[in-house]
Structures are given as C-alpha cells and as structure tokens.
Structure 1
Amino acid sequence: MTDHLLPLTYDVTGGGPVLLVLPGGAGHPMGLGPLTERLAESFTVVTYDPLGLAHGRLGSPVADQRVADWSEGAQRVLADVLPAGEPAYVFGTSSGGIAALDLLARHPGRPAHVVAHEPPCVTLLPNGAERRAELIAQLDGPRRPPAEGESATPMGVFLAHVLRPFSAHAPDFTAPPGRLTVAAGTDSRGGPLHTTAHLLAERLGGAFAEFPGGHLGTLDHPAAFADALADTLLAQPHRKAAVTPAR
C-alpha cells in the first residue's frame, strides 16, 4: 500500500479559524505541544501527521517520500475538517514548509494564507547542488538512527526517506497575491536557509518575514514563535474561495 493511501492522521485543538500545521522532519509532531497550545488560543489548530508516526505507525516500513503525497494529504485533511469553499491558514516548517508550498501551488484557492518557515529548498541557491550535499552530509552519517522496527525513531525515518527527496524539491509557481509568507529565523541570518527563504519569497511572489530563533524556533521559542505566526496570519484577509474538495 502506498503512503498516500494511508488513513489520514491528525489532531485538532483550540477554536477559531482553522490553522493547518505541517511539522518538519518526518512529519512527527513531537515537541510541538507548547507551540500548538499557544496557537490554540487564537485558532482551531489541525496538526497533520502524514506518516502516522505519532499515531501508532512508527516502526512500520516507509517508502521514500514524495512532496506531492504530503501536500495532497494536507488537502484531504482540509476537506475532512472544512466544507468546500471555507478557507484555512496553513503553516509548515522545514520539510513541512516544502509541503505547504506545494499545497499552495496545487490548490491555490484553498489556503487563506500560507507561512512556510525555512523550507530547505537549497537547490535554488546559485551553488545549490553543493549546498544540498553539505546539508545531507551535516545531518546524515554512519550513526543514522533506525527507520524501521522496534528501535525506529522519527529522525531515522526523516534521514532515510524524507531528507533527500524533499531537499531536491524546487518550487516553481506564482503565489496568489497576498497568500504567501516565507519565513526564516533571526538566528539563521547569514546561513543558507535564511538566504533560501529570501530567494523563495522573491521567486514565488510572496512576502518575507523573520521569526524568533533559528531552524528549530518552533521548539526553542514556542510562545514567541506562535505569537509572531499568529500576528502574520491574522494580518491577512481571511478570503473565501470556491474550492473543489480532494474527495
């Protein structure tokens, strides 16, 4: 059975306009509790777990992941929690940011606004192939955690099946006006992911914003990060568009 046919797994908390959260790594929402709790004060937070790793599937065999499967899964989640035509805010960080961008590219009428935080689309840089190789070498190595079996970890799944295909993704579309913000952490200034975020915002026609912390700002500064994210989203009109559900 292919990953995109797996049952949808997600969690819902809070109240208010819907905010779909796409975690980084292998999509496991570990550590995002403080962030989502803060966001739940302003939003109905729907946290998508694309591989079901936090819902009993960690340790099961996983195929190499496709960005399109994650973004189409996100669209199916939105169809589950919202009627057709109702908009939703979308936030993705790291690999989840890449999926959020792909969701906007494939279903531009669905999101009210997308914030993609430090999506590692480093192949867009002038020396992109070298930067991607450096990224992979920095994260992966001979001591990679297991991706399957009783000792499997989300990091093991990410390194084995997400890092390479997602870091090769190069978004190429024009965002609808006012519906995209590409963000980077203040602590990432001068680094490749900060530069990539700037480049993506220019290339796709989105805004650029800085959020607290670095690549893991969602974990290291959850309250401040959540507040900055909420301010960014709530400053945007909550547009309503005609949408055909994915199913």
Structure 2
Amino acid sequence: MILQAKAAKLKVPGAEIYYETHGAGPTLLVIPGGPQDAGVFAGLIHQLADRYTVIAYDPRGNSRSPFQGEPEELDVNVHADDAAALIAAVGDGPADVFGTSGGAQIGLNLAARHAGLVRTVVAHEPPCMMLMSDPSAMVNGARALYETYRSHGVAAAMGKFFADNGLSEGAAPQPELPPEAAETFARVSGNFEYWLAHGLLPLSSFRPDVDALRAGKPRVVVAIGEASAGQPIESMGRALAEKLGVPPVSFPGDHMGFSSDPANFASALDRTLSVTSNR
C-alpha cells in the first residue's frame, strides 16, 4: 500500500522550501528541472512509493517555495545546499538522488559538495554545455533565448525553448489533462518568467566539478532519453559521461520521459539504483 503523502515546509537561509514525502523505504530525493516543481513527478512517484521514501520539492523561487525577499539570481551552490538540508531533515542516512535537466545540475553539485549525504545520483539529461568540446553554439543559443525573453516576453521565449529542444508538444496544456496535472501546469507556467530572467543562464553556464565526481563516491549515473537521440541535450549528456569516464545509460522517452512514461521510467530508475543498494 502506498502511504499518504505528507506536505511540509523547511526554512532555509533566504527561502522556505515546500516538500512532500511519499511512501516508505530507502530515501530517494527527486529534483525537478528549470521552472518545474514537485508536481511533475506525480506519476513517477506513484510508481516508486511502494519501494522508496520519495522526497519531492519545489526549488526555491518556484511555485510554493517563495523567497523571503526579492527574487535572486539562481545559484547552483545554494540550491545544492537546499537539497542537502532536505536530506538531512527528512532522510535516513545517504539518499539516492534523481535530478532532471537543471535539476540534474543541482544533483551533480549536491553530490560534489555533500558527498556524505548521497549514495547515487542519477543525472537525467543535464544541460552540461560547458563540458562540450565546443560549447559556443549552445552558449549562443541560451543567450539568444534570454534575449528573446528580454525583447519579446515570456510566451515568445518559451515557444522558442520548446521548439529548439524538440518539445513543442509541451508548450500548451491539453484539454484532457486531469485536475492535478492541470494544477501543476498552471503553477509551472507561473515560474517561467523567474526561470528565464534568473535561472536559464546560471544553469546553462554551470560546470560540474568533474574531479570531485570522478572520485567514485557517490556513484554518478548519466541518463539520456531514448527519444532524445539527435537533440542537443543528448550531446550535453554525453559530454558529461565522457568527462566522468562512464557510459551513459538509456532511459525511456525524451526529456520528459519521467512524465510521459512513468511506469517504464520508474522501472529503469529502480534497476539503476538497485546496482548500488544491492537490492
């Protein structure tokens, strides 16, 4: 039986972090990407809460985790410290960590800065453009997206983002969305401006501490969606895997595979984590 979710808030310097705990078992912290929040993992959590205590949260500045003052530029170190505070407050011993997109960048930084709190980090399609042999095209693309936001607004910039990354179908809600998913989409849409103004460039320019991550503890897994082949995000993930000296692991779906195919995605994630836990 899947236990009832528990929602709470954790005070951290400069913000208050909304988080939910689901299920029972080894601790698994899931970190959403960019403007997303805990709600995007609803389907995935449903598949995993019979085996894990899943901690899902809204990163500071997103949705239900407001700043205690004016919005600040996204700082990956601060976000990693927030994640560490959640593990320390809620978790039982080292946690497994799954982060997607910008959340994968945070997870990588968490593993480098707080190695004792992390057993395995699964970095799903991190935008590690700065590790590419020639990141200029990707850097210019991120800058162009930011300039589109500055000159033409949120809607134009997000339309460009979805189109540039082969995610055009995610640009608008569908009429058949169930209430919970519609609520999540509404909250996440409200985060677009903060992400474009304060999060896009810091997450894009972040360079993981490869030397710390290569130490072998925590274990680092680079996950790339099967349907992301040929997309820029595949090249970024492969660049990270090459620097770490590990083979990338194929996961179902594309950049949003955890949402579009949660059952198979959860199975892949569980298999990956089981290697470390020896379950």
TM-score bracket, shorter-length normalisation: 0.7 to 0.9
Higher helix share: 2
Residue type at the aligned position of 1:154: N
Give unpaired runs (5+ residues) of structure 2. 1-11, 158-186
Q: Is 1:218 matched with 2:258?
A: yes
Residue aligning to 1:108:
115
Q: Deviations over 1:143-188 (max 9, x none)?
A: 3159xxx9x7122221111111110011133323261101111111
Residue aligning to 2:180:
none
SS of structure 2 residue aligned to 1:210: strand
Further displaced range: 217-226 or 170-179: 170-179
TM-score normalized by structure 1? Answer: 0.83
Is the contact between residue 227 and residue 253 of structure 2 (CA under 8 Å) also seen in structure 1?
yes
Q: Give distance in 2, aligned partners of 1:194 and 1:137.
A: 20
Is the contact between residue 24 and residue 92 of structure 1 (CA under 8 Å) also seen in structure 2?
yes
Give unpaired runs (5+ residues) of structure 1. 239-247
Q: Give distance in 1, aligned partners of 2:78 and 2:59.
A: 9
Q: RMSD of the TM alignment (CA)? A: 2.6
Residue type at the aligned position of 2:41: L
Q: 1:53 to 1:204 in 2, by over 3 A?
A: same
Pairs aligned (count): 230
Is the contact between residue 28 and residue 52 of structure 1 (CA under 8 Å) also seen in structure 2?
no
Q: Deviations over 1:49-92 (max 9, x none)?
A: 2226342639x842110100110100111110135xx1110000
Residue aligning to 1:82:
91
Residue aligning to 2:274:
234
Higher relative contact order (CA 8 A, sep 6+): 1
Q: Deviations over 1:114-134 (max 9, x none)?
A: 001011111221221221222
4+ runs deviating over 3 angstroms: 135-141
Residue aligning to 1:119:
126
Further displaced range: 90-99 or 135-144: 135-144
Residue type at the aligned position of 1:130: A
Q: Is 1:153 matched with 2:190?
A: yes
SS of structure 1 residue aligned to 2:277: coil
Q: Is 1:177 matched with 2:216?
A: yes
- Identical-residue share of aligned pairs (%): 35
Residue type at the aligned position of 2:28: L
